[in-house]
Structure 1
């Protein structure tokens, strides 16, 4: 492992900004219609359960990342195979987020710039930060956290002042009962973004205040879930359900609706800054844990040497995963939750925790 340590506060900022990531920009939970905010809150509760599973594994192996202790639990051959699957998973999700970020900038700010150029420039900056290590990523998150808080507070204040929030758009609550909400939770909000916290099983060993890991993680997830629910409810109340569900970037449409005193309007920069902060940190974390996982798996003495080649792979993958943004979103909704998120975020960690329990019970005996 990299010889580095991060504080509990840095872990808090990492998880919070990671959870925001791209979830704040997309139509998360919108299949539950005007109850999308409720689907996010229930997904957050499920995310707490997943976090306890990840934390339980960390308690058994506090000095090892996920890609290391799977080999102890499952043996060399099967363990290395599963570790390699997780490395591929982390790289794939990083590529998907990079694609979303690039598509957003092309749509909002740079319509005449090729998508590849935008993604390439962004990944180069991330490669440099990953090369520097987890301590640099953590310190960067502290600075970005302050910026995100200022953006959220000022943005919410502008929405209130502009008078475009219509709470009646959130009614009727539970119009079709709990069934569509539960379905949305188990196909969307449980895995994205809350289940993605599995990446922190690679980062927990760096925490220098181990007794604060559980409390810090739950607080960060809880606050991020509440804020995401508030953002989604705000989008629906401003835009209405029909526009919020069909908008490519609902938050952007909401921000563009702001008009204060006849001159303060077209605040697209808010949306761009949200995307820059969330996307930058989320890709960096996924990319970093992929690099560390690969270095453990292939016994690379200097993990930073893998940053450049793996960064290029992520860049090329971000261009190859879909021919257009609509196809990209469709794939995210139909295939990724069932074939990637469910097994790697839920099923396998549960099985690993059961195996760890019995193995460590035998040692105790």
Structure 2
């Protein structure tokens, strides 16, 4: 590995939770067709996300590679591994750009109007460079600290929302008025894309977990915990605001937070939520960029891997320069093409092929486990 430090299973749990929670930012676009039934595909999608994560872990559990790159090399050979490790960074940088635009739009609309995209991007990317240059151990400690703050804010705000608003349980009905058909496709999309997907990048961090062959389940704990939080936010939106309100705004947390009326002198709780969203997005971007840096360094093996990180950040900044400024157009493109097809290829098809491709070492490992069981 490029880094000698390791992170604990609890830190990986926290990183997974924050990474998935960051997807709350724009997941409201599913509500347009599902309305009051949105909570059903969330449950199904969360289960699907857990199953996909389990498939990913088979790479580490069945092949005794030293790190992520060696594990993939054992499965598909070094040339194919190099090709994958050159293509995947492009995919991750694409996700970095879209997530950066998501949080920029929120900040520009609700927090600081007329802020320039280029200045905002430059500031966030500089912060990411500083954070990642400190190494995975510092990143894990930083994320753990922010996790407790985020959890406290979520619990506190949920209590205030439930206390100061009338609850309408009848808003949940009718349940599955048109059967299971309309919820199957969104549930599948949720499992490998937003909000419970895009998990393959996490394995650039997972390789640093102590005793990763045994502690893979802690990623599941983080995913389940984030799923419960996202489900609760969805249910609060439905039973308080109603199903129609769900279709107006794609930001579920911001929408429901505006219903807090604590005191005359305490207003705009949504500002706190926006700052939490920024923290979550920065953590997600850090994971994506960390894995990008690792993959590129595995291929090029530079003595100063931060050069590759700088190059990656410059590519993202360049995309921000030349990409369309119309956010609605970008979001529509992302929903129609990135989520449906690009995410499917990089989160399902390629990883599943890596797991299914037979390798001599995997067969030996499975034979040894069978012999041990027979003994």
TM-score (norm 1): 0.93
Say if 1:323 and 1:68 are closer, same or farther in 2 by CA, change over 3 A: farther
Shift of 1:347: 1.4
Q: How does 1:308-327 map to 2 (within 5 A)?
A: 308-327=310-329
Q: How does 1:199-210 map to 2 (within 5 A)?
A: 199-210=201-212
Distance 1:64 1:302 in 2: 21
Show the counterpart of 2:196.
Answer: 194
Show the counterpart of 1:249.
Answer: 251
State the secondary structure of the residue aligned to 1:196.
coil
Deviation string 1:128-181 (CA, Å, 9 cap, x unpaired) is 111111111101111000111111011101101112443322221112211111
Equivalent in 132, 139, 149 of residue 130 of structure 1: 132
1:223 aligned onto 2:225? yes
Show the counterpart of 2:120.
Answer: 118
Q: Is the 8 A contact 2:204 2:291 kept in 1?
A: yes
Q: How does 1:51-130 map to 2 (within 5 A)?
A: 51-130=53-132
Q: Is the 8 A contact 2:25 2:102 kept in 1?
A: no
Shift of 1:317: 2.0
Distance 1:150 1:219 in 2: 18
Q: Is the 8 A contact 2:61 2:213 kept in 1?
A: no
Deviation string 1:199-256 (CA, Å, 9 cap, x unpaired) is 1222222111335422211111111111111112212333222222121423222211
Deviation string 1:275-333 (CA, Å, 9 cap, x unpaired) is 12211111111111111111111122332232222212122224544432211211221
Show the counterpart of 1:44.
Answer: 46
More deviation, 138-147/202-211: 202-211
Equivalent in 25, 32, 36 of residue 34 of structure 1: 36
Show the counterpart of 1:4.
Answer: 5
Say if 1:295 and 1:254 are closer, same or farther in 2 by CA, change over 3 A: same
Equivalent in 174, 179, 196 of residue 177 of structure 1: 179
Distance 2:167 2:281 in 1: 27
Show the counterpart of 2:20.
Answer: 19
Distance 2:324 2:252 in 1: 21
More deviation, 137-146/312-321: 312-321
CA-atom RMSD in angstroms:
2.1
Q: How does 1:158-177 map to 2 (within 5 A)?
A: 158-177=160-179
1:265 aligned onto 2:267? yes
Q: How does 1:339-354 map to 2 (within 5 A)?
A: 339-354=341-356
More deviation, 138-147/324-333: 324-333
Q: How does 1:136-151 map to 2 (within 5 A)?
A: 136-151=138-153
Q: Is the 8 A contact 1:24 1:228 kept in 2?
A: no
Q: Is the 8 A contact 1:252 1:271 kept in 2?
A: yes
Q: Is the 8 A contact 2:233 2:252 kept in 1?
A: no
Distance 1:191 1:357 in 2: 29
More deviation, 158-167/124-133: 158-167
Show the counterpart of 1:307.
Answer: 309
Distance 1:192 1:244 in 2: 17
More deviation, 19-28/9-18: 19-28
